[in-house]
Amino acid sequence: MNELAAAGSGGPASTVSFSAERAAIQHALDGVCRRWLSALAPATAEAVRYALLGEGKRLRAILLIEAYRACGGTGDAADLAASIEVVHAYSLVHDDLPCMDDDDMRRGRPTVHKVHGVGVATAAGLAMVPLAARSAWHASKALGLSDVVAGDIVRELMEASGGGGMIGGQLLDLEAEGAPLSLESLERVHRLKTGALIRASVTLGARAALAPEARRHALDRYGASIGLAFQIADDVLDVTATTDELGKTAGRDLDLQKSTYPALLGVEGAIQRAVALVEDGCAALQAEGLLTPPLEQLARFIVERRS
């Protein structure tokens, strides 16, 4: 993720380095740990720190920063971007628990519950939800945003991660294990489970930049499209990549008897669907003059990645 290359429309590939953004996000996550983890029980704090500071693509956080910049934001949005990484890390901690997907590996190392125990991992995940809200409020105010806008940002982040977003999608995903889903039903699950937080990443960036409604709408469509494309690509990688490449256990969808895009559309059909979604999202930004090289590259990385 340090170097991503994406082909422009008909032209040679252009490369944008996101190493500076990733370093800024890592620094912001360090700040979250320094600022607020002392209020938690030591064991819980260590588990949260383990979850937050491990290696990761930081895709959602980078999307927030680049959406903010595309909409004319000039401040340092890394702290706000870190808040969405807190939510994402929490989702991974709980997703890996034995009562959920029961996975032992994440990001190339043992999952939080394998290192800290199931009880502590569960508590750590729960603690990260208010931590994300607090971080988002603090970061919004640091950007000079009003209480109203800061409140809107926290509300949107929590809605994207709650019962009407990520958590609701996870529940639907668990209920669907062993039950074949139609393509329409599968997309509904994943627009919530995976797509809601990716969608919020770009719309929060737009909101922080005080973008007008038309620009927020375009970024919302872009986020919804690439969010679903991300899950389709994940399903494809689950059957085509190795555990070493993924940094997590390959083949888990089959083990858990989940409906997947390759099962419904075939691998090539699933890839074509993901590519079409990315094109649709980029077209929405192009129409509003928001298709910056970083946002296009990030969208194309979603379907070209190997982890």
pLDDT in tens, 123-159: 999 999 999 999 999 999 999 999 999 999 999 999 9
Q: Write the DSSP symbol of residue 7.
A: E
**Rounded distance, CA 218 to CA 224, Å?**
10
pLDDT in tens, 5-14: 333 333 333 5
Residue 9 in contact with residue 283, Cβ under 8 Å?
A: no
Residue 149 in contact with residue 207, Cβ under 8 Å?
A: yes
pLDDT in tens, 208-250: 999 999 999 999 999 999 999 999 999 999 888 777 777 767 6
Q: Write the DSSP symbol of residue 77.
A: -
pLDDT band at 256 (very low <50, low <70, confident <90, very high): low
3-state secondary structure of 3: strand
Q: What is the pTM of this model?
A: 0.92
Q: Which fold has domain 3-7+15-304?
A: Farnesyl Diphosphate Synthase (1.10.600)
**Rounded distance, CA 278 to CA 273, Å?**
9
**Rounded distance, CA 273 to CA 261, Å?**
9
- Mean pLDDT (the chain, rounded): 91
The gap from C-alpha 9 to its chain's centroid, in whole angstroms, comes to: 26
3-state secondary structure of 15: strand
Q: Is the pLDDT of residue 160 over 70?
A: yes
**Rounded distance, CA 85 to CA 257, Å?**
29
3-state secondary structure of 21: helix
Report the DSSP beta bridge partners of residue 7: 13
- Between 247 and 70, name the one with better pLDDT: 70
Residue at 188: amino acid letter? R
The angle formed by the CA atoms of residues 98, 101 and 105, to the nearest 5 degrees, is 85
Domain-wise residue ranges, the chain: 3-7+15-304
Confidence at residue 3, expressed as pLDDT on a 0 to 100 scale: 40
- Between 14 and 198, name the one with better pLDDT: 198
Token pair 């903010």 is found at 68
241's tokens: 């990549």
178's tokens: 């062993």
Report the DSSP beta bridge partners of residue 110: 105
Report the DSSP beta bridge partners of residue 13: 7
Q: Please state which of the ranges 71-85, 153-167, 204-218, 243-257 shows the lowest mean pLDDT.
A: 243-257
Q: Which contiguous run of DSSP H or E holds residue 183?
A: helix 183-193
- Nearest Cα neighbor of 57 from 124, 108, 126 is 108
Confidence at residue 29, expressed as pLDDT on a 0 to 100 scale: 98
Residue at 252: amino acid letter? R
Confidence at residue 5, expressed as pLDDT on a 0 to 100 scale: 36
